[in-house]
Copies of this chain bind each other. A is one copy, B any other.
Amino acid sequence: VDLEERILAANEARARHNREHFLSAGVLAVNVMGSPGSGKTAVLEGTARALRGSRRLLALAGDLTTDLDARRLEGAGIRSRSISTGSACHLDAEMVHHAVHDLALAGGDYLFIENVGNLVCPAVFDLGQAVNVVVLSVTEGPDKPLKYPVMFRKADAVLLAKADLLPALPGVRLEDYLDNLARVAPEPRVWPVAALTAGGLEPWIDWLETRRAELSGAWVAEGLEV
C-alpha cells in the first residue's frame, strides 16, 4: 500500500507537469476511458468527422501491443501516436509525457487520450487531462456504474455508445443506465450516442466546445492565441 501511494504520488507530479504543458500549448486534453470494445475509437472517429475543418485534433491511443486504434484515428484525420503499455492495464502520466513530445502539440485544439480498455485502473492514474470521459456501450448492461463506481464517479461525461442497438436488446432500458449512473455520480452528464451512424453526437461536441471555451480564459491569461 505504501509503495502504491509512492507510485501514485510520482504520477501526480508528472500529471501536473503534463497539465501545464497542455495549458501552455492551448489544447484541451480529454482522457477517454471505457471497457474493451465499448466504442471509444468509434466515438473519436465520429468526433473527427463532426469537427473536420473547424478544429485540429490530436490523439494518443493506449494499447498493450498493437497500433490498430492509432491507425484508425489517423485514418479519420486525427494526428495520432500509439502508446504500447506492454503488460500495463492503464496509461500513466509518464507514458503520456513521452508520447506527447513525439506527437508535438503545436497547432492542436484537442488532444484525445484513448486509454487502455479497462474500467478499473485508468480511473486512478491522472494523466494531466482537463476532462474525463467514459464510453459505456449499452450492450454491457446497466449494472456497470454500480460495479465500477470509481470510474463513473470520476467521469465528467458518459457516452452511452451503440445506443442504436437498444431495440435489439430485450429487457435493457436506457432509464436503468441513467438511474444507476445517478446512484454513483451526483449530477451525471450522459448522452446516448451511435457513433458509427453519427447519431446523437451533437450534445457531446457542444460540451467539448464549451469546455474548450472555458479553458480559453486560462490560455488568454497565459498570453496564448485561442
Residues of chain A touching chain B, judged by Cβ–Cβ distance below 8 Å, are: 3, 35-37, 63-66, 68, 87-89, 116-121, 124, 137, 139-141, 143-144, 146-150, 162, 165, 168-169
Min distance, Cβ A198 to any Cβ of chain B, angstroms: 14
Measured between alpha carbons, how far is A150 from B89 in the docked complex, in Å?
12
B3 touches A66 (CB 8 A): no
Give the 7 A-B residue pairs with the shortest CB-CB distance, closest first: A37-B140, A89-B120, A139-B139, A168-B168, A35-B36, A37-B141, A35-B35
A64 touches B141 (CB 8 A): no
Could you say which of B87, B140, B168 contacts A150, with CB atoms under 8 Å apart? B87
Could you say which of B64, B139, B143 contacts A147, with CB atoms under 8 Å apart? B64
A66 touches B165 (CB 8 A): no
B146 touches A68 (CB 8 A): yes
Measured between alpha carbons, how far is A211 from B63 in the docked complex, in Å?
34
CB-nearest residue of chain B relative to A4? B87
B64 touches A149 (CB 8 A): yes
Q: How many copies does the complex hold?
A: 2
Could you say which of B121, B146, B168 contacts A66, with CB atoms under 8 Å apart? B146
Contacts of A117 in B (CB 8 A): 35, 119, 147-148
Given A37-B144, A68-B147, 12 more contacts at CB 8 Å?
A35-B140, A36-B140, A36-B144, A64-B120, A66-B146, A68-B143, A87-B124, A117-B119, A118-B119, A118-B120, A137-B139, A139-B162
**A36, A37, A66, A68: most-surrounded residue (chain B CB, <10 A):** A36
B35 touches A147 (CB 8 A): no
Measured between alpha carbons, how far is A37 from B143 in the docked complex, in Å?
9
Contacts of A121 in B (CB 8 A): 89
A137 touches B37 (CB 8 A): yes
B118 touches A66 (CB 8 A): no
Contacts of A120 in B (CB 8 A): 64, 87-89, 116, 118
